[in-house]
Amino acid sequence: MDLNISSLHRLGNGEPIVFLHGFGSTKEDYADIARLPAFAGRPFVAYDAPGCGDSECGDLSALSIPFLVDAARAVLNRLDVQRFHLVGHSMGGLTSLMLAHEERERVLSFIDIEGNVAPEDCFLSRQIVSHPSDDPQRFFADFIDRNWGAPDFSSSLYAASLRHKVRAGAVRGIFTSMVHLSDHGNLLARFVDLPCRKMFMFGEQNAGLSYLPHLQESGVTLASIAHSGHFPMYSNPVEMWKRIALFLGHIAPE
């Protein structure tokens, strides 16, 4: 299969931070790391997932979370990244979780930004079931309309750029895989059992997620981002980056 991955990366001394974006987003969600003094000189890798942004995939119907995990591994191997810190949002958080589960010795820490760990997290991807359509273009157009009118912070901003950031043919395979793993993949246990340091980041609008007390009791650091829902990188990027830097030890606690 033809696969061409578009990336942003800065290599150097030390283990890099690897960023995996969410569905309908791109590597540019994390481009500001190159401009933030707290991360000056820190190696990082961000790339567009197959079917998203400037990355190309010869068979969009083949896309799934396992496929995205294999793509992540290929990118890391191509850049000769052996050990790394991992940050993933939403779809990228689920991809990161599966990657960390398979590459336990390579992942030094994991910041999961509202990545799927339970069935309740499928409020976007489960629309492939709740609003079925045999026409990928029609489903995608309706999906965009539903998200544009959603009450969550930054939903309209997110929806407005979807057509430019992801191919309609990529949606069904990715969403179906996300729903299946969220319902049957025992994701919460996989996340808690990872041996690395872990943070779960969520917007304050989602402070009612049922599993947050369990994560806290299991030693996972929780980070609530004010004035934010599912998209802290759009609603409150200053706070998001501050919490990432604190967790990774780039700035001292106040």
Whole-number pLDDT of residue 115: 98
User: From residue 30, how far is each of 22, 72, 238, 253, 254 by CA, in Å?
Assistant: 11, 16, 12, 22, 24
Of 183, 192, 94, 176, the C-alpha closest to 139 is 176
Please compute the mean of the pLDDT values over residues 141-168 and round it to a whole number.
96
| List of domains in the chain | 3-248 (3.40.50.1820)
Residue 1, pLDDT score: 65
pLDDT tens figures, 15-62: 999 999 999 999 999 999 999 999 999 999 999 999 999 999 999 999
pLDDT tens-digit profile of 57-113?
A: 999 999 999 999 999 999 999 999 999 999 999 999 999 999 999 999 999 999 999
| pLDDT at residue number 48 | 98
Q: Where are the alpha helices (DSSP H) in the chain?
A: 65-78, 91-102, 127-130, 136-148, 155-160, 162-165, 171-184, 187-193, 212-217, 232-235, 237-248
Residues 186-225: tens digit of each pLDDT: 999 999 999 999 999 999 999 999 999 999 999 999 999 9
The answer to pTM > 0.75 is yes
pLDDT at 125 over 60: yes
pLDDT of residue 174: 98
The predicted model gives 157-179 an average pLDDT of 97
Chain position carrying tokens 């967790």? 247
The pLDDT value given to residue 251: 57
CB of 236 closer than 8 Å to CB of 113: no
Of all residues in the chain, the percent with pLDDT exceeding 70 is: 98
Nearest 5 degrees, angle CA 185-CA 116-CA 223?
Answer: 135
